Amino acid sequence: MDQRTEFDFIVLGSGVAGLTFALKVAPHGRVAIITKKNRAESNTNYAQGGIAAVTSKEDSFELHVRDTLEAGAGLCKEDVVRTIVEEGPARVAELVDLGMRFSERESGQGQRELDLGREGGHSKRRILHAKDVTGREIERALLSAVAARPSITIFENHFAIDLITTEKLGFGGPNRCLGVYVLDKRTQRVKTFAARTILLATGGCGKVYLYTTNPDIATGDGVAMAYRAGAAVANMEFIQFHPTCLYHPKAKSFLISEAVRGEGGVLKSIDGAEFMEKHHPLKSLAPRDVVARAIDSEMKRSGAEHVLLDITHKPAPFLIERFPNIYNTCRQFGIDMTKEPIPVVPAAHYQCGGVLTTIDGETEIAGLHAVGEAACTGLHGANRLASNSLLEALVCAHRAATKITSEPLPEIPQGLPAWRSGHASNADELVVVSHNWDEIRRVMWDYVGIVRTNKRLQRARARIANLQAEIVEYYWDFIVTSDLLELRNIATVAEIIISSALERKESRGLHYNLDYPEPSAEWAQRDTILRRP
Ligand SMILES: Cc1cc2nc3c(=O)[nH]c(=O)nc-3n(C[C@H](O)[C@H](O)[C@H](O)COP(=O)(O)OP(=O)(O)OC[C@H]3O[C@@H](n4cnc5c(N)ncnc54)[C@H](O)[C@@H]3O)c2cc1C
């Protein structure tokens, strides 16, 4: 293991965004990938549906652009959408060159072609997938390519705490990122990393909510760190709730992919009646926000704790072949999707906003880039089109790496101050940490969820402010642990989501406020941008 902590490039996160960027800058210098658990653990690893990209003759860039703009409800940046859509196929081809295996099917006369999936909001079949474990296959391909690059060192179980900036160190001039403080979870020591440039690829923030499809790593650390460092954060009110997470007391955040509806799955209430035709002409394949709200209202109407997703009319061998992961996981919980409908509920899934960046990943702080779910480029607008996020991460990681390596970079900063740690460790305080974790997630679920009101948002703001005051009180005295660091981050991200939601006085895409149920012309094409006060 490389003990030095000075690198040309530091990458925070080992999902699709971080790994893609690391591979692209690797020929230009030494790269550190810092990741808080094991190297594959990321939202990427759990992606099921696939990557949206135009690869078939029946499809066109124009249609993909149109579908993305439509889902984004008037808030996408069209030039960003167009570039990402048009550069997608080349990036997907690079993944294939690295050894990524997408599912194929017979196209007749012994030929094979990509098995393109269909998902909600897409007017064509355009989702490249590896059965229903696309993300796992992406991580496998990228990590094996990274392993073959001696200039890349991966620091597993290393938790990025805070960015080191010129502003924080009291230097004059424009703010510049110089490095990052990182907790080595094994030794409990905080190391100081320095680099010419730093990439935030820390993913999303599903864990801010009580119910989520995201794994435990998704605590919005990158957004919280960038906000504390003074970067602008945009459109954080737009949290996508996936309509269909498996409902079972023992199933922790297991997603039932949209592709199940794409292949004919139908939503039904618990008494077996279809209800989506009341809400949208596309019925079960309506955009995610419409489906999530329809399920929410159906559950409120019936008092049931879930609805049903029925695909039993499809042949069992097809379902077992197409959805092996979903089939086997459901079986573990005693549900046979070939014979009975799957109980499902909505859950927090994707953060459409993030650190405000250009399409090349530049933030407002020099030397700090952000890519992937942690960033807000303007692709998703007010609602992400399914499977556009892996695409965005691939394209923007490539663009960021290309731009950074084509420009002269500053020297690696020297003599950055060491972290000053608190010393107290009081077992009584641990209960405060776990209690506050639960409280934040419940407040966000109950008051800042799929359907919002001003009153609930204000109530949430007051609660989160109290919790934050409590967290700050003991943060500086105690030895930092990853639980405490994540708690501080989810509290910050919760505050940002609530403030953004209160600022947007309309309903648009994923942000639905009963006090302003319609979109407003005044807010069209206007991002919600927050900076640290
Ligand atoms: C269940 C599920 C299914 C999905 N299906 C699809 C799909 O089919 N198609 C699609 O396009 N999108 C899908 N998504 C969304 C997509 O997977 C993510 O948006 C995308 O993978 C994000 O990639 P990323 O590299 O930005 O972040 P991630 O893959 O989440 O990686 C973040 C990395 O940062 C690390 N990290 C975070 N904080 C810190 C810290 N403080 N210090 C050090 N390391 C840190 C994490 O450990 C992780 O390695 C799905 C998401 C989920 C949860």
111-114 and 104-108 as β-strands: parallel, antiparallel, unpaired?
antiparallel
Q: Is residue 495 a contact partner of residue 503, using CB atoms and an 8 Å limit?
A: no
CA of 515 to the centre of ligand 1 (A): 33
Using DSSP's 3-state secondary structure scheme, residue 106 falls into strand
Task: Looking at 104-220, list the stretches that DSSP marks H as alpha helix, in order from N- to C-terminal side.
Answer: 134-147
CA of 45 to the centre of ligand 1 (A): 7
CA of 42 to the centre of ligand 1 (A): 5
**Got the DSSP string for 350-385?**
EE--EEE--TT-B-SSBTEEE-GGGEE-SSSTTSPP
**pLDDT for the residue 423:** 67
Task: Point out the ligand 1 atom lying closest to the alpha carbon of residue 34.
Answer: 43
Task: Point out the ligand 1 atom lying closest to the alpha carbon of residue 212.
Answer: 53
Task: Point out the ligand 1 atom lying closest to the alpha carbon of residue 17.
Answer: 25
Query: How confident is the prediction along the chain (533 residues), in pLDDT tens digits per residue?
Result: 445 699 999 999 999 999 999 999 999 999 999 999 999 999 999 998 899 999 999 999 999 999 999 999 999 999 999 999 999 999 999 999 999 999 999 888 788 999 999 888 899 999 999 999 999 999 999 999 999 999 999 999 999 999 999 999 999 999 999 999 999 999 989 999 999 999 999 999 999 999 899 999 999 999 999 999 999 999 999 999 999 999 998 887 899 988 899 999 999 999 999 999 999 999 998 878 889 999 988 987 888 889 999 999 999 999 999 999 999 999 999 999 999 999 999 999 999 999 999 999 999 999 999 999 999 999 999 999 999 999 999 999 999 999 999 999 999 999 999 988 776 666 566 788 889 999 999 999 989 999 999 999 999 999 999 999 988 877 777 778 899 999 999 999 999 999 999 999 999 999 999 999 999 999 999 999 999 98
How much is the CA Rg of the chain, to the nearest whole Å?
A: 22
For a ligand 1 pocket test, name from 387, 389, 493 the mutation site with the most ligand atoms within 8 angstroms of its C-beta: 389
**pLDDT for the residue 391:** 98
Angle 14-15-20 (CA atoms, 0-180°, nearest 5)? 85
CA of 16 to the centre of ligand 1 (A): 7
| Atom 13 of ligand 1, residue of closest alpha carbon | 47
How far, in Å, CA of 240 to CA of 255, rounded? 13
Structure-block tokens of residue 455: 């009153």
Residue of 38, 42, 9, 40 whose CA lies nearest to 23:
9
For a ligand 1 pocket test, name from 41, 43, 95 the mutation site with the most ligand atoms within 8 angstroms of its C-beta: 43
CA of 365 to the centre of ligand 1 (A): 23
CA of 528 to the centre of ligand 1 (A): 23
Helix and strand element counts for the chain (H, E): 13, 19
Q: 10 Å Cβ neighbour count for 226? A: 28
Residues 6+ apart with CB under 8 A from 303: none
Task: Point out the ligand 1 atom lying closest to the alpha carbon of residue 489.
Answer: 41
Q: Where are the beta strands (DSSP E) in 29-119?
A: 31-34, 51-52, 104-108, 111-114
For a ligand 1 pocket test, name from 44, 213, 486 the mutation site with the most ligand atoms within 8 angstroms of its C-beta: 44
Q: Is 112 a catalytic residue?
A: no
| Atom 50 of ligand 1, residue of closest alpha carbon | 47
**pLDDT for the residue 1:** 44
For a ligand 1 pocket test, name from 24, 33, 200, 202 the mutation site with the most ligand atoms within 8 angstroms of its C-beta: 202
**pLDDT for the residue 280:** 93
DSSP H or E segment with residue 178:
strand 177-184
| Atom 53 of ligand 1, residue of closest alpha carbon | 214
Residue of 114, 119, 134 whose CA lies nearest to 46:
134
Q: Is residue 214 a contact partner of residue 348, using CB atoms and an 8 Å limit?
A: yes
Task: Point out the ligand 1 atom lying closest to the alpha carbon of residue 119.
Answer: 8
Angle between helices 427-447 and 454-475 (to 10 degrees): 160
CA of 253 to the centre of ligand 1 (A): 14
CA of 79 to the centre of ligand 1 (A): 25
Residue of 500, 483, 489 whose CA lies nearest to 467:
489
**pLDDT for the residue 4:** 65
Task: Looking at 56-201, list the stretches that DSSP marks H as alpha helix, in order from N- to C-terminal side.
Answer: 61-71, 78-97, 134-147
Residues 6+ apart with CB under 8 A from 429: 474, 478
Read off the DSSP letter of residue 96.
H
- Pocket lining for ligand 1, CB < 6 angstroms: 12-18, 34-37, 41-44, 46-51, 134-135, 159-160, 201-203, 213-214, 217, 221, 255, 350, 372-374, 387-390, 393
How far, in Å, CA of 169 to CA of 179, rounded? 11
> What pTM did the predictor assign?
0.95
Using DSSP's 3-state secondary structure scheme, residue 194 falls into strand
| Atom 10 of ligand 1, residue of closest alpha carbon | 387
Write down the catalytic residue from 136, 288, 293, 463. 288
Using DSSP's 3-state secondary structure scheme, residue 212 falls into strand
Task: Point out the ligand 1 atom lying closest to the alpha carbon of residue 18.
Answer: 25
